[in-house]
Amino acid sequence: MRLDLVLIARHPELSRRRARDVIEKGQVSVAGQVVNEAGFAVAENADLRWDPNRKAVRFARLSLPILYSDETILVLDKPAGLLAVASAPGVEDEDTAYARVKEYVRHLNPRRPYAGVVHRLDRDTSGALAFALAPDARAALRSLFREHRMDRRYVALVRGAPLVDEGTIDRPIADAYEGGRRHVARPDEPARPAITHFRVRERFPAGALLDVRLETGRQHQIRLHLAHEGWPIVGDPVYGAPGRGAPPAPRQMLHAALLAFEHPLTGVAVRAESPLPDDFKRALGAMRSGTTPRPRKADRPPRRR
């Protein structure tokens, strides 16, 4: 349930607006950790405490939906079309998820603002993206990624389909990065291990909907692995190619649906889920029906001046 609804159930004297207010002020904790997002998902029997005497914290609103937030970790819902980080070192004027988080943190904690990059998503991949709000949290989260203790699940709409219902792609990816592309490594070239697990959720005449779980997290790993196996992601301009029967799409139909992990500083189970965005739903509906969706203004990548 939503945190504000659980709080109201425990404290019926609170209105919905008042419950949201005390949460945003940092007066509510879950399992000992302050959570300031009213929509944060908690169990009905969660260890929840409201301390009206706790000094209110400064509250700022982020210009992106928040999937999980506490004092040290932030998971937001990145839209397709928005860069996760700047396209090159030293570039300061690009609109990125990281820049928006830094702006948010400066309002939230003007004396000691901190925002650290933990991982990345491609510009046109939507979904759950984590940032650290403290240096020790960043180091701990990056360790979780390196040690494969971060559950990362994606949804991909592809042309073609696996012959089996589930399987694993274990193909090293070459270190070389040329023309915005990577490639599956040849036996004689420098490379890094890359392992992708997949499961077919739904099959269509022209393709399939796949659940994908990353064991490693190389750049372009899912897009490259699926294309190499003959199932390119619909709308992928780099590793895909126009194919008969597959609907056109405004971007690559790859969505980071879930980040789940044990909080490295508190031990609390964190589960941040991102719903399918509208453009993905339309492409999926077109694939199911075999029709071509009409382009919509909402499908255009978001831009902020």
Amino acid identity for residue 91 in this structure: V
Q: Where are the domains of the chain?
A: 1-56, 60-291
Q: Quick one: 207 exposed, middle or buried, by C-beta within 10 A (0-12, 13-18, 19+)?
A: buried
Q: Which of 4, 70, 77, 122 is catalytic?
A: 122
Residue of 27, 46, 47, 45 whose CA lies nearest to 35:
27
Q: Give the whole-angstrom CA distance, residue 255 versus residue 277.
A: 8
Q: Is 222 helix (H, G, I), strand (E, B) or coil?
A: helix
CATH class for the domain made up of 1-56: alpha beta
* pLDDT per residue as tens digits for the range 263-287: 999 898 999 999 999 999 999 999 9
Query: 192 forms bridges with which residues in the sheet?
Result: 173
Tens of pLDDT along the chain (305 residues) come to 889 899 999 999 988 888 888 887 888 988 888 887 788 888 888 899 999 888 776 555 677 899 998 989 999 999 999 999 988 777 777 889 999 999 889 887 777 889 999 999 999 999 999 999 999 999 999 999 999 899 999 999 999 999 999 999 999 999 998 888 999 999 989 999 999 999 999 999 999 999 999 999 899 999 999 999 999 999 999 998 666 556 678 899 999 999 999 999 989 899 999 999 999 999 999 999 876 555 455 454 444 44
CA distance 63 to 52: 28
CATH superfamily placement of domain 60-291: Pseudouridine synthase (3.30.2350.10)
Those residues with Cβ within 8 angstroms of residue 148's Cβ, 6 or more apart along the chain or in another chain: 215, 216
Rounded CA separation 79/127 (Å): 7
| pLDDT of the residue at 60 | 59
Could you tell me which residues are beta bridge partners of residue 227? none
Establish whether 124 is a catalytic residue.
no
Same CATH fold, 60-291 and 1-56? no
